[in-house]
Amino acid sequence: MKKRTGAMIWAVALGVLQACDSNGIIRSGVDRPVDPAPPVDSTRARQCSNGMAGSYPCRGIDLVSYLTGEEIGLTRGLVNDMWGWTDPLTGTEWALVGHQQGTAFVSLADPRNPLFVGLLPKTEAASASVWRDIKVYRNHAFIVSDGAGPHGMQVFDLTRLRRVANPPETFEATALYDGIHSAHNIVINEETGYAYAVGSNGGGDSCGGGLHMIDIRDPVNPGFAGCFADTSTGRGNTGYTHDAMCVVYRGPDVEHRGREICFGSNETALSIADVSDKTAPVALASASYPNVAYSHQGWLDEAQEYLYMNDEFDEAFAMVSGTRTIVWDVRDLDDPIPAMDFIGNTQATDHNLYIVGNLMYQSNYLAGLRVVSIAARENPVEIAFFDHSPDDSNEAGLNFGGWSNYPFFESGVIGATSMRGGVFFVRLAAGTAPLN
C-alpha cells in the first residue's frame, strides 16, 4: 500500500469538507487568486470596542495592523504558517510569514506600519504548496514545505535583513539541506541545536514520516543525525509525526530530567520519546484519547506538566460538541493521561496553538485567534478573541481561515495568519489578563 503523507491526508479531508462559493462551485485552495482582507480605514489600527475592531469581531484584543497576501508578495494562492525573530543587535521584531510562493519577511520596527522587506521564494525545483513551516535558530530561519517535491530545508541568514536598502528584495537561500524533499513541519530545540523534520516524504531517509533529526549547531552546514518513529502510532503504522515539540526536560518526572524529550502529535496518538542519543532514540510512551480523528499539534505548559493538543478533524466530523483541546497530564512521561477536554465557545476547527505563561493562543480556521487562560491547568477559560475571518460563521470545516500565530514577541504584539486575509498584528487590550 502506498504510504499516505500528511499533505495527502489533509487533501482528502479538504475534499470532503471544503465549501462551495455562492454559485455552488468548489474553489481550489491551491490555484485560486488570493482574496483581499475585508476593508478597514487607512490607518488599519482599531481598538476593540463594543465587540468590534473595525470590521473584525473581537473581545479583549486590539487590531494593530495587517498586511494582505498581496502586500507580502503573494500573487496566487494562500498564506499559511508564521514564526518570529527578534534581531539581537537592533531589537527589531520580525514576522516570518509563509505562503504558497515562499517566505515573506516583515519588519515590526513600527508595528502600526509593518514593512514587507523581502521574499525568499520556494526552492526553484519545488512545486507551489499550501504547506510551509518556519522555525528559527541562531539568527537563521529553517523552512520546509510539504507536497512540494524536491524542496528540501532552506536555511536563511536573518541578519541579511539589516542590510536591505530598497525593499522588497528577492532573496536566495543561504544554504539548502537536501536530505529530505518535502516535510510537513520543522521542529527546533534551540537549547540543543537540533532540528526535527516531521512528516518527511521523498528524498533521503524519510524516517517513516517520524523524526528526521538534523544537527544544525552550525546553521549553514546542517547534517543528518538519525531517525525516530514509533510504529505503534500514525494511520499507516509508520510512526508518522504531524508536528512535535522537543525540549530539554525539566518537569516533575525526576527519572527523565535533563534528557531531550520530544512530544509528537502522531495522527492517532501522543508519542513521547527520549532523543538524547540520536543514534539510539527511545520510545517512552504513546497514548490516544476518546473520539480521536487527527492528532494535529500540541504545546507544553512552562512547567512541563501539561500538554495541550488540538485534533484537526474531530469538529468537522461531528465527533465533539465544539472546538476541542485535549489537555494531557504528562507529569509521568511513561504514562501520559488525557486529563480533560476543553470545549471552546464555537464549533470551529482548531489549528495551531502556543502557550506563554498562563495563556494559550489558539488559531482556529473560522473563529480566528482565541486566547485562553490556563492558570488553572485543568480548567481553561477563554478570555479574549480576534476573528480575522468576520464573514464566516465560526463553524467547523477547512474553509481557508486562521492558520497559525506567534505570541512570543516581548513587545506584546501577536502575529496571526489568515489564509485568505494575510497576516494580522494584534495585542491584548489594556485590562485583559489571565484569570487567577
Tell me, rounded to whole angstroms, the distance of Cα 426 from its chain centroid.
17
Residue 208: the pLDDT is 94
pLDDT in tens, 60-73: 999 999 999 999 99
DSSP 341-371: EEE-SS-PPEEEEEEETTEEEEEETTTEEEE
Please give the C-alpha separations between residue 279 and each of 225, 260, 293, in angstroms, as whole numbers.
Answer: 7, 13, 32
Amino acid identity, position 94: W
Residue 397: the pLDDT is 87
Residue 321: the pLDDT is 96
Least confident range of 150-159, 248-257, 423-432: 423-432
Grid-cell match 522537543, residue found: 246
Instruction: Summarize the confidence of residues 330-346 as an average pLDDT.
Output: 98
Cell numbers representing residue 11 in the block: 487533501
pLDDT band at 433 (very low <50, low <70, confident <90, very high): low
**What does the CA dihedral 261, 211, 137, 411 come to, rounded to 10 degrees?**
-70
pLDDT band at 400 (very low <50, low <70, confident <90, very high): confident
Instruction: Summarize the confidence of residues 360-384 as an average pLDDT.
Output: 97
**Local structure of 186: helix, strand or coil:** strand
pLDDT band at 381 (very low <50, low <70, confident <90, very high): very high
For the chain, percent of residues with pLDDT exceeding 70: 89
Residue 1: the pLDDT is 36
* Comparison of pLDDT for 385 and 18, the residue scoring more: 385
Instruction: Summarize the confidence of residues 296-311 as an average pLDDT.
Output: 98
Amino acid identity, position 403: W
Please give the C-alpha separations between residue 294 and each of 207, 242, 268, 269, 310, in angstroms, as whole numbers.
Answer: 20, 9, 6, 8, 8
Cell numbers representing residue 108 in the block: 515590526
pLDDT in tens, 254-297: 999 999 999 999 999 999 999 999 999 999 999 999 999 999 99
* Comparison of pLDDT for 34 and 134, the residue scoring more: 134
Q: Are 417 and 133 in contact (CB under 8 A)?
A: no
Ordered structural domains, the chain, with CATH: 47-428 (2.130.10.10)
pLDDT in tens, 13-35: 544 333 333 332 222 333 333 33
Residue 205: the pLDDT is 87
Instruction: Indicate if the pLDDT at residue 4 is higher than 50.
Output: no
Cell numbers representing residue 193 in the block: 541545536
pLDDT band at 39 (very low <50, low <70, confident <90, very high): very low
Tell me, rounded to whole angstroms, the distance of Cα 211 from its chain centroid.
17
Instruction: Indicate if the pLDDT at residue 12 is higher than 90.
Output: no
Residue 21: the pLDDT is 33
* Comparison of pLDDT for 390 and 341, the residue scoring more: 341
* Comparison of pLDDT for 7 and 61, the residue scoring more: 61
Residue 16: the pLDDT is 37
CA distance 299 to 373: 14
- 239, β-bridge pairs: none
Report the chain's mean pLDDT, rounded to a whole number: 91
Burial (0-12, 13-18, 19+ Cβ within 10 Å), 3: middle
Amino acid identity, position 241: T
pLDDT in tens, 75-111: 999 999 999 999 999 999 999 999 999 999 999 999 9
**What does the CA dihedral 325, 331, 334, 338 come to, rounded to 10 degrees?**
-30
Residue 390: the pLDDT is 82
Residue 434: the pLDDT is 59
pLDDT in tens, 175-222: 999 999 999 999 999 999 999 999 999 888 899 999 999 999 999 999
CA distance 352 to 370: 11
Query: Residue 28's CB: how many other CB atoms inside 10 A?
Result: 10
CA distance 88 to 159: 9
Please give the C-alpha separations between residue 57 and each of 189, 323, 428, in angstroms, as whole numbers.
Answer: 36, 18, 14
